[in-house]
Amino acid sequence: GESVGLHLPTLSVQEGDNSIINCAYSNSASDYFIWYKQESGKGPQFIIDIRSNMDKRQGQRVTVLLNKTVKHLSLQIAATQPGDSAVYFCAENEISDYKLSFGAGTTVTVRA
């Protein structure tokens, strides 16, 4: 079936370094992609999104890259901080389906 998955379940990063979290998706009809951050006991928090007609989008300290040729999505976090420690999920949406399909998540731990 169609699914979205992350390459690595865990990522350990030194404070101040850049982080890269990867995600592969298989639904070529996906129109819209989102990265969420989830801290313990909380719901997913929106980080950044990108539509299928774009290949890069930047936010504050974050950049999302979309490669439709290989169906790959990545989230780059610049100058990682302790507050960035969380589980990160990618999600995709074929907008006519009105639902998000999530990957399994990557747990990011920031080392001081």
Partner 1 sequence: KAGVTQTPRYLIKTRGQQVTLSCSPISGHRSVSWYQQTPGQGLQFLFEYFSETQRNKGNFPGRFSGRQFSNSRSEMNVSTLELGDSALYLCASSADGAYGYTFGSGTRLTVV
Which spans of this chain sit near partner 1 (rule: CB under 8 A)? 31-32, 34, 36, 41-46, 49, 51, 89, 91, 93, 95, 97-105
CB nearer to partner 1: pick between 11 and 87: 87
CB nearer to partner 1: pick between 32 and 71: 32
Token couple for 24: 């592969």
CB nearer to partner 1: pick between 78 and 102: 102
Shortest Cβ 96–partner 1 spacing (Å): 8
Shortest Cβ 29–partner 1 spacing (Å): 13
Q: Which amino acid belongs to residue 106? A: T
CB nearer to partner 1: pick between 32 and 78: 32
End-to-end CA distance of the chain: 40
Contacts of 110 (CB under 8 A, 6+ apart): 13, 14, 15, 80, 81, 82, 84, 85
Contacts of 55 (CB under 8 A, 6+ apart): 65, 66, 67, 68
Shortest Cβ 32–partner 1 spacing (Å): 6
